Amino acid sequence: MSQRRLWTVAGVLVAIMFVPRPASAYFDWIWQMSGPQMIGITGECRVGLQGRLEDCEIAGAETAGPFSLDPPKRWLALSGGLYFSTGKNAENTDFEAGDEFMLAFDPMFEFITAEGGAGEGKVSLYHGIGATVNFLTGPDFDAFFNGGFKFRPVGLMIGDRFNVSYTLRVYPRGFTAEDFGKAPSSPDNDWEAVHGFTFGVRF
């Protein structure tokens, strides 16, 4: 079996493990970076500022929790995910779907600034600030780490069924085509801002 197929199979197996219920989904889409565009299956555990585990979700399925009847307005989010390339090219560089993989760990402090309604119709506006640590690997380049800051300028939770947010990752050392075993790229990529969206839904 080729290394590419081996990575693809491994990714699918891990993805299956991360989705205990077929009627739920939790994805993160990194849609603009100097490397491949990526989509990931993510999970998150929330710890209250008093140190109590409040809630854990893996791919949108609740594995611990939920929050108490009086959920906190501020918490530490320990999130992470498995990402794979979508095949979209970047900066005139060709990337193949499923060739590149990334594991991410994103600890963030998050807080609610506004909310209204109740029950399934409750709407909460929240934000976050923290860090991102990434491990990237693929068949055409040496595996490497990259890290930076992660911001969630705006996120929206609707009841316990929908969660959507915009994320911004800022890397002091930006990605280059050489990182992914591609042709040389422009040398002025000292830092990089990477945009993404997270979407979760339970049916």
CB 159 within 8 A of CB 119: yes
pTM metric for this prediction = 0.79
pLDDT (tens digit per residue) in 98-134: 889 999 999 999 999 998 887 667 899 999 999 999 9
Percent of the chain with pLDDT over 70: 74
> For 33-51, how does the pLDDT look when each residue is reduced to its tens digit (9 = 90+)?
888 899 999 888 888 887 7
- Within 10 A of 98 (CB to CB), how many other CB atoms are there? 17
Q: Of 198, 195, 145, 189, which is closest to residue 170 (Cα–Cα)?
A: 195
- Would you tell me how many other CB atoms lie within 10 Å of the CB of residue 16? 11
Q: What's the mean pLDDT when you consider all of the chain? A: 80
Cα–Cα dist 47/28, whole Å: 21
Residue 98: name the closest of 2, 198, 201 by CA: 2
Contact of 130 with 165, CB cutoff 8 Å: no
d(CA 163, CA 28): 11
Per-residue pLDDT of 146-200, as tens digits, reads 999 999 999 998 877 788 999 999 999 988 878 888 777 655 568 899 999 998 8
CATH number of the structural domain spanning residue 103: 2.40.160.20
Average pLDDT over residues 47-62: 71
Three-state DSSP state, 87: coil
What domain count does the chain have?
Answer: 1
Q: Average pLDDT in the 22-41 region?
A: 80
- CB atoms < 10 A from the CB of 93, how many? 15
* Segments forming the whole domain that contains residue 80: 3-202
What distance in Å separates the CA atoms of residue 165 and residue 63, rounded to the nearest whole number? 21
Q: Is 158 exposed, middle or buried (0-12, 13-18, 19+ CB in 10 A)?
A: middle
